Chain A
Amino acid sequence: MPAQALIVCEHCDTVHRRVELAPGAAARCHTCGGPLYHRSRLELNAMLALTIAGIIVFAVANAYPLVTLSSQGIRNEAALWQMVASAWNSHIALVAAIAALTVFFFPLLQLALYAYILLPLSLHRVPRGFAAAMHLLRQLRPWSMVEVFLIGVLVTIIKIGSLADVVLQPGIWSFGVLTALLTALAGFDTRELWQAADEAQR
């Protein structure tokens, strides 16, 4: 039996035989109830489109401020990089590092890796260093926190909205769109890309 015909549950180590699933269906482990795999008709072009849209929206999200706050005739604005800088200047370097890495560098690297992997694969070619790129992509996943950032910013805006004059800027809408795009991308099982690479090499 070829090894690809089997799948092992990552939560309890039970061996399962892969079966063909109906579209939209998902296989669950019947020992522990955890998710095993789902029918991903690996739509490379859809993933690629999401990635390219993500890169554009990422740029817009960082080019504009998120929100402005006016009080006593003074108007302050906040963009992501301004938040990183003021956290750094307020001696909370850990907070500055968390914001810079989990909201800027990791998501950007994630999008860049997706583009690097998906572009050649959609042309049935395997990019150089495919394995290394795939490993990095997998490790980045839990450390990209754009959606948490978005909710944190929204909660804060509502909180201070009663105290001062808050105006939403294009940055916040872009982060909303970016969250949706990254969530859609995360819905694809990247492990299936290994299968696609195997087929491209043949």
Chain B
Amino acid sequence: MTAELRAAALHLVSCDACSLVVNESTAAEHPGHCPRCHEVLHRRKPDSLRRSWAYLIAAAILYIPANLLPALHTTRLFGRSDDTILSGVVELWQDGSWDLAIIVFTASIVVPLLKIGVLAMLLITTQRGSTWRQRERTRLYRIIEFIGQWSMLDVFAVALLVTLVHFGAFARIEPGGGIIAFGAVVLLTMLATKSFDPRLIWDAPAARPPPRTDQHHD
């Protein structure tokens, strides 16, 4: 650990809203509020780990119907087919549109799984007070925060298909329950990511007792 000064140790709080640095001990007329923008000051996001877990577990549960239930029902003259999100990707690949297949596979399968996996890892290591690869863990957090909304791609795709493809008996596309669950998964993972406070990753060393070697130097 470097000798960097951390705001909490100096009794400084940075306002989440306007990034003004406020000294807690000299907080003016409205204690606990930012003097510039009047937002409530938090050292850390309130109840961060518990909220983040709750959203994450809900997302992980809904991930199952999101992938098992069909997202689209296609009716053609020659019959009817049901597509889940994954079978839609496979179909794209078989049609030779491997570039589209990769885009949809990344946005709909890789990103949600990555977000759920990374968040679970961050929550577990943070709860254990781990000092393992703090820098890389913080970077992973920034990545999942950035890519979060891109999973909505398939939700918009389904809305467009349902609107465009209704040609009476010839061809019709209707949505399936899978897309509702999928939209909910994306929203929940975004909320889970927003609830997690990456500063908690760096709170770990201070909370631990100093290294044992100190005892021998007397």
B23 and chain A: residue at smallest CB distance = A3
- How far apart are B115's CB and chain A's nearest CB, in angstroms? 14
Residues of B within 8 A of A3 (CB): 20-23
How many B residues touch the partner, as a band? 35 or more
How many A residues touch the partner, as a band? 35 or more
Which listed residue (B38, B103, B142) contacts A11, Cβ 8 A?
A: B142
In the complex, A170 has a CB within 8 A of chain B:
no
Complex alpha-carbon distance, A142 and B146, angstroms: 9
In the complex, B132 has a CB within 8 A of chain A:
no
In the complex, A180 has a CB within 8 A of chain B:
no
- A74→B160 contact, CB < 8 A: no
A30 and chain B: residue at smallest CB distance = B4
Complex alpha-carbon distance, A14 and B8, angstroms: 9
Complex alpha-carbon distance, A34 and B155, angstroms: 31
Task: Identify the stretch in A42-50, A83-91, A112-120 within 8 Å (CB) of chain B at 4 or more residues.
Answer: A83-91
Complex alpha-carbon distance, A142 and B179, angstroms: 21
Task: Identify the stretch in A19-27, A52-60, A152-160 within 8 Å (CB) of chain B at 4 or more residues.
Answer: A152-160
Which listed residue (B23, B167, B184, B198) contacts A12, Cβ 8 A?
A: B198
Which listed residue (B13, B100, B198) contacts A155, Cβ 8 A?
A: B100
Complex alpha-carbon distance, A7 and B100, angstroms: 43
- B155→A152 contact, CB < 8 A: yes
Complex alpha-carbon distance, A14 and B5, angstroms: 6
Which listed residue (A90, A99, A134, A191) contacts B156, Cβ 8 A?
A: A99
In the complex, A199 has a CB within 8 A of chain B:
no
Which listed residue (A12, A86, A134) contacts B163, Cβ 8 A?
A: A86
In the complex, A123 has a CB within 8 A of chain B:
no
Q: Which one of B154, B163, B199, B202 has the highest number of Cβ atoms from chain A below 10 Å of its Cβ?
A: B163
- How far apart are B130's CB and chain A's nearest CB, in angstroms? 15
Per-residue interface assignment for chain A, residues 1 to 18, with 1 indicating a CB less than 8 Å from any chain B CB and 0 otherwise = 001101110111111000
- B166→A76 contact, CB < 8 A: yes
Q: A4-B20, A8-B12, A12-B198 are in contact. Are A78 and B163 (CB under 8 A)?
A: yes
Complex alpha-carbon distance, A78 and B171, angstroms: 16
- B21→A6 contact, CB < 8 A: yes
List 21 A-B residue pairs with CB atoms under 8 Å apart, sorted by A's residue number.
A10-B199, A12-B198, A15-B6, A32-B202, A71-B170, A72-B170, A82-B163, A87-B159, A91-B175, A94-B180, A95-B158, A99-B156, A102-B149, A134-B17, A155-B100, A155-B103, A155-B157, A156-B161, A158-B97, A159-B97, A162-B95
Beyond known contacts A6-B21, A15-B5, A67-B164: 15 more, CB 8 A cutoff? A10-B16, A33-B135, A66-B160, A78-B163, A83-B163, A92-B175, A92-B179, A95-B180, A99-B155, A131-B38, A134-B17, A134-B18, A148-B153, A149-B152, A152-B152
